[in-house]
């Protein structure tokens, strides 16, 4: 049970539906006689329910076989209702065996409505008001968050952006919802966002915020140069009513599924936006890209040795297929990827944007590959995150799950090292050969020491059809401070 903690907390903070089904190991009827591992909360036990209640959307305990079935249906419903999240179902050890059927009391119904939940649809009059406000805006901007991802509404978002003629910035959790090669894409905004995204968001007269809490670490700690309801009109869309006007007051609040609201707005705006207005905004956006840059930093083509992480990202961007799933770990590697990697096509970009726990990338890539085996799954992590998650490679070999892991090996816990400067404590590593470790586990292992080796090695690993690790000897001179927005300065 305790091994689920990081996953449960990440799901809770990033609104991912999850079912945690586990046994209380209470060894009934010896529950109060201190059985090994018992988590029923009785004398001589630890209290699993209280522990899970602190990190899940809801925690249920099943007492008996029939109750277990009912509880499972309730758990699934709560996991997907409103804002999704993790639900734990803890089962007493004597509840796994028994008979349930048509005569069970309470009655059991094999009906999908008992474990699903309808998604709310937007209020028609409020949707009309929002569309009118957007059609009349001079500099409208869309901010798309994780709620758009959970609604699988990326295509609808693109349609709305092109219909309205509005640039799209995303939260960190929303990166890639609109391919960052799109004419209207800005990339990630906020604390570690791109200069372009922050400039355009800060200059907007109307902000349409979809599926984002607008949390402090997405808004440069609520810097009014970025978002300011005193000078900007906010329209906020969310499936969870308590998120509307939570951080900033919104003039129009639209409660509903992100996909349903986006389509409703796009339908209303199809004939309401003047083409000359769209064209004026497109010209202004191209000029802003020239001024601020757009995924074209000089470091991306650097030939320095040790290899700059930006160069690794540039070659990885070239090597991956247009429909790849990219999973990032926590800390500096995630920020570099978020800032410099430009998504395209149907690339999915996943990261631990909730609790930010190290060790996320490899298990996330395993899950992605199992869900959609036809897509390449690439995990990107630092050497610290690799050390935490590398046991997942044993599963990859054992179950023949051909993921690729790219290690930005700077021989340090980069975030800690650069945050501690100038005095470092317990953050530097020896020069471990992660490719050799990978080969010892049965993976293909490749070590890269010069930039010209990157692209062919990445291509070989991606097409190997076998779990593979690419260990890149990268520079420790690059720091998260380089991608931090000036808006964070006091």
Quick: pLDDT tens for 183-235: 999 999 999 999 999 999 999 999 999 999 999 999 999 999 999 999 999 99
Q: What is the span of the domain harbouring residue 185?
A: 124-292
Among residues 115, 148, 167, the one where a domain terminates is 115
Residue by residue, DSSP assigns 89-110 as EEE-GGGSSS--STT-SS----
In the chain, % of residues over pLDDT 70? 100
CA triplet 63, 82, 224: central angle to 5 degrees? 135
| pLDDT at residue 105, rounded to an integer | 87
Sequence-ordered strand ranges (E) for 317-358 = 325-328, 348-350
Tokens in use for 291?
């001024």
Cβ distance 144 to 279 under 8 Å?
no
| pLDDT at residue 128, rounded to an integer | 98
Predicted TM-score (pTM) of this structure: 0.95
Residues 241 and 263 in one domain: yes
Task: Return the C-alpha torsion angle 348, 293, 220, 243, nearest 10.
Answer: -40
Task: Return the C-alpha torsion angle 369, 370, 375, 380, nearest 10.
Answer: -10
Backbone angles phi, psi at 253, to 5 degrees: -110, 125
Residues 128 and 108 in one domain: no
Higher pLDDT residue, 105 or 382? 382
Instruction: Please report, for residues 149, 167, 263, 266, the alpha-carbon distance to residue 159 in angstroms, rounded to integers and kept in the order given.
Output: 15, 12, 8, 7
In total, the chain counts a number of residues equal to: 490
Tokens in use for 69?
């079935």
Residues 280 and 321 in one domain: no
Report how many domains make up the chain.
3
Residues ≥6 apart with Cβ < 8 Å to 364 = 327, 350, 379
Longest dimension (CA), the chain: 77
Domain of residue 202, CATH code: 3.40.50.1220
Residues 330 and 403 in one domain: yes
Residues 334 and 244 in one domain: no
**Residue 487 placed within a domain:** no
**Residue 372 placed within a domain:** yes
Per-residue pLDDT at 101 exceeds 90: no
């Amino acid at each position: 049970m305790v091994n689920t903690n990081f996953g449960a907390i990440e799901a809770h903070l990033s609104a991912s539906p999850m079912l945690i089904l586990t046994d209380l190991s209470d060894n009934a009827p010896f529950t109060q006689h201190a059985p090994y591992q018992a988590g029923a909360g009785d004398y001589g036990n630890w209290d699993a329910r209280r522990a899970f209640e602190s990190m899940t959307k809801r925690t249920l305990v099943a007492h008996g076989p029939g109750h277990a079935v009912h509880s499972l249906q309730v758990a699934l419903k709560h996991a997907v209702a409103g804002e999704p999240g993790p639900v734990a179902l803890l089962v007493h050890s004597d509840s796994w065996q028994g008979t349930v059927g048509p005569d069970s009391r309470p009655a059991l119904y094999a009906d999908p409505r008992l474990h699903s939940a309808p998604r709310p649809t937007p209020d028609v009059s409020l949707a009309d008001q929002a569309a009118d406000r957007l059609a009349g805006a001079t500099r409208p901007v869309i901010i798309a968050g994780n709620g758009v991802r959970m609604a699988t509404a990326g295509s609808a978002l693109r349609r709305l952006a092109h219909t309205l003629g509005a640039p799209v910035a995303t939260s960190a959790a929303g990166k890639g919802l609109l391919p960052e090669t799109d004419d209207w894409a800005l990339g990630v905004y906020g604390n570690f966002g791109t200069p372009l995204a922050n400039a355009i968001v800060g200059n907007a007269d109307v902000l349409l915020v979809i599926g984002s809490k607008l949390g402090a670490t997405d808004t440069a700690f609520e810097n009014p140069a970025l978002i300011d309801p005193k000078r900007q009109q906010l329209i906020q869309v969310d499936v969870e009513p308590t998120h509307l006007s939570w951080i900033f007051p919104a003039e129009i609040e639209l409660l509903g599924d992100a996909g349903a609201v986006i389509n409703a707005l796009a339908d209303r705006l199809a004939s309401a936006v003047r083409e000359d207005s769209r064209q004026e905004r497109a010209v202004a956006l191209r000029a802003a890209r020239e001024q601020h840059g757009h995924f074209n930093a000089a470091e991306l083509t650097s030939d320095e040795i040790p290899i700059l992480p930006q160069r690794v990202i540039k070659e990885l961007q070239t090597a991956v297929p247009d429909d790849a799933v990219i999973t990032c770990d926590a800390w500096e590697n995630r920020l570099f990827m978020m800032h410099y990697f430009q998504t395209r096509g149907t690339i999915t970009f996943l990261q631990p944007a909730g609790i930010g726990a190290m060790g996320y990338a490899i298990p996330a890539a395993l899950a992605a590959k199992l869900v959609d085996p036809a897509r390449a799954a690439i995990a990107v992590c630092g050497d610290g995150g690799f050390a935490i998650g590398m046991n997942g490679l044993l599963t990859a070999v054992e179950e023949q799950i051909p993921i690729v892991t790219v290690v930005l090996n700077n021989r340090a816990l980069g975030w800690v090292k650069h945050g501690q400067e100038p005095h470092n404590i317990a953050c530097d590593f020896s020069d471990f050969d992660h490719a050799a470790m990978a080969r010892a586990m049965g993976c293909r292992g490749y070590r890269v020491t010069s930039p010209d080796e990157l692209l062919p090695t990445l291509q070989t690993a991606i097409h190997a059809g076998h779990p593979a690790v690419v260990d890149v000897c990268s520079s420790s001179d690059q720091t998260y401070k380089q991608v931090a927005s000036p808006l964070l300065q006091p």
